[in-house]
Amino acid sequence: MSRHVVVTGAGSGIGRQTAVRFAGLGCRLTLVDINAAQLQAASDECARSGAKEVRAVVSDLRTPDGPEDMVAEAWAVAPVDVLVNSAGVYPATPFLSLDADSWDSVLHLNTRAPLLATVALARRAVESGRRASVVNISSGAALRARPGAAPYSTSKAALEMVTKASALELGPYGIRVNAVAPGFVTVNSTANPVTEEYAAAVSGNPLGRRGEPDDIARAVVWIAGEEAAWITGETLRVDGGSSAGAMNLPLHWTPRSMSESGSRDN
């Protein structure tokens, strides 16, 4: 039986490529985005990629009822097996320019919407005695603050705790909740544009290349599936190793000889 997968933020970038990956597995898809034109293009690509069925839902998940309505509409078609919360915004707002509206707009979409969507799914899954899997898309920014990204970094740090808390309470019902945290990924987003200067500054990593949406999509499909059946409450960092440490620092000292190096190490 093909799984029913709901992907938010499916119109572009990581969300779209994740949807295409699930389509290639013959899944039934409900794709959600606020941009109708991009959503239709993604739906068409998923249909060509082998999806059993594709439904497009245009929705603003920042509204209080948006996540509940989205899940209700998807569940009315077929019970939902996988929910991928990929919709998000990444505005650049200097700290001294922050106000309540600019803060809330980020937290409502990046943190509250995944939480409420997970609650809506879990209520239905528990009532019907079904298992389910939720994957939240976090970010390396959850671990490191960046100039102009106080709301974003906070939203992703909070999302990782939402992942843990929901996994703890929903595990007994057979509902797994995990997160995937990308490093810098080239998505060419019109909603979340970045300069090349910024991209170069944040994309250094041990593997020596920037991420692509499919790097993240493969991880999402894996952790949502049965091969990861005993994993819940985890954040999988798919970042080329950038979270392992700082790549741009020089040696803290330069040894003059091997003997000196050995003596200092001891």
Tens digit of each residue's pLDDT (9 = 90 or more) over 185-215: 977 656 566 666 666 666 678 888 889 999 9
83 vs 104: CA distance, rounded Å: 23
Against a cut of 0.85, is the pTM above it? yes
Question: Which CATH number does the domain 4-265 belong to among 3.40.50.300, 3.80.10.10, 3.50.40.10, 3.40.50.720?
Answer: 3.40.50.720
Cα–Cα distance measured from residue 6 to residue 56, given in angstroms and rounded to the nearest whole number: 10
Is-catalytic flag, 198?
no
Judge contact between 10 and 19, C-beta under 8 A.
yes
Per residue in 6-59, pLDDT (tens digit) is 999 999 999 999 999 999 999 999 999 999 999 999 999 999 999 999 999 999
Cα-Cα-Cα-Cα dihedral of 105, 110, 116, 118, to 10°?
Answer: 170
Backbone phi and psi for residue 206, each to the nearest 5 degrees, phi listed first = -60, -30
What ranges make up the beta strands (E) of 35-151?
53-58, 82-85, 132-137
Q: How confident is the model at residue 73 (pLDDT cuts 50, 70, 90)?
A: very high
Q: Exactly one of 90, 152, 173, 198 is catalytic; which is it?
A: 152
Q: Residue for token digits 């093909």?
A: 2
Domain limits of the chain? 4-265
Q: CB of 150 within 8 A of CB of 90?
A: no
Which tens digit of pLDDT belongs to each residue from 157-196? 999 999 999 999 999 999 999 999 999 897 765 656 666 6
* Average pLDDT of the segment spanning 69-81: 98
How big is the chain, counted in residues? 266
